[in-house]
Structure 1
């Protein structure tokens, strides 16, 4: 019996790239209810501000087209309890900005 072992690089190669996209909003399928589409407004921040969020309050989501991923976190401008803050897409102002792929530019940037 042959057992194939996978490394972390094998799994990372299967995922789409993480893009730093400047847009009005980015959309993704809901993590549990896949028939729903979530919209994440884009908020500008630095990498240091993003790193200050705990690992439970930040992450990555697959775009609606499935061609790229983007970073999400709790809204840093929210006033009140952190657990009530909405999820937003993060755009790093101190990092290279990517352009949206041409086939989804009209859909994602609305």
Structure 2
């Protein structure tokens, strides 16, 4: 787990950031994430998970947007930073993510056990 924590920290540092539209949650939905990332998020009940899935939402989506924004998974951080996952509101960082970093993130996701958020 410590190795994954270090990988996640390194990848997070290399994902460019940008300001979302306040209150927007257009890219929020059920996603999968690594066990390491999941361990950083608040535990939700089965009923909360079922209610979110019924609406095709993320269980961590609140009335004002993401309730775990600072700890959001890598896949969530990619939205809007790559042409393959554009922001529906045309927001983006000044410089898009380096394709090699994006590939590293997809490799990490593909090679770690993923769980539904």
User: TM-score per shorter chain, which class?
Assistant: under 0.3
**Bigger-Rg structure (1/2):** 1
Structure with the greater relative contact order (CA < 8 A, sep ≥ 6): 1 or 2?
2
Structure 1 or 2: larger helix share?
A: 2
Structure 1 or 2: larger strand share?
A: 1
